[in-house]
Chains A and B, each alone.
Chain A
């Protein structure tokens, strides 16, 4: 019984540690759970681009505010016809998608990118 109690206590401690780390770690990055349901649109100029796995991130300046815009993994961008050379510093683009639920953060996930009037649809099955 003593062994079992110690075992359960240790497992509990591990779960607590994991939970505490998770709870203090802030915004979830992957998937959609961190974003709100309403559609959101942002137009601005790309300042920096970090493209590639596990997902691409752009810094976009819109009305003198820097936003972080999550775009697709390489294959998703490629499928939409979006080349890395189009997502470079100085390019003006409109991003449609969903903003982070936490309004204190200027973060959005893009479903569609519009550059010079041309639409690149990263998620053709989402609206």
Chain B
């Protein structure tokens, strides 16, 4: 298939269709509105269902319903809308229903503004709603990855019966880059034997999707069951088949200072690394592509060789805490952030690097 120049938001929509997703429920909010607009047009072409819900709360609960009935289903929003969805995400995680949730992050707290931000890292990687649960969090940094990770996200969510969050930001959502779209995947709605409405001959008992366990022992058993599932997922990303998928390393082997960033920031950091190298500064880049489970191992390994780390985020410092946990005090971890919708320039980051490597 030839490359297509697409917006990030549109690439997610097309990739979802190609992944067999036929159900979208959402509510308008900037800067993700191109995605519902794309699917409102595209889904009817493939006999799919697009519903503009009355709220993000309703939308995520429609996702819960469709997911529990066996659909490949998605919703999308931007930060304030994702806050509203947290109730539903908690139920979906508790009932172990697969779905894909896209957050095209904007600035907060509150209404904040519509400009790009990365200030929902904590909300995304710590569950987000009430209760002891996790969502798998994927962090693309290009329009191509917006498409690729949409497909990976559906696969992971079905495999683990767990919600997957695609964590993007306003720049990635709005920008256009060439995309190679994959071949379409035929998804069979009757492939999930646990789903409501499944009618295979092997169905003996009725199916139930629920997150209520009123008995203490039953809930504790369910909580540990979820925890064990999260351990399996963590292993898969730290040493299993998704090990290489989870993190990108760039010129780290001999690096004295390692820059750390995800999403759009990682692209800017790559330019900073190039500029550093031209100036004789041995800089490298770690880009977590998966934010939960966090790629801890790469930091443990590189903390032995690098002298220091500089984490750059469009927030006041959120992922930096996971980096510090991973580096575990072995090397200093510094932070540089811009917020309010300002994307830091390569020059100001380079200036920060200068201050660290040439403190005089």
Real binding pair: no
**Partner-B contacts on A (CB < 8 A):** none
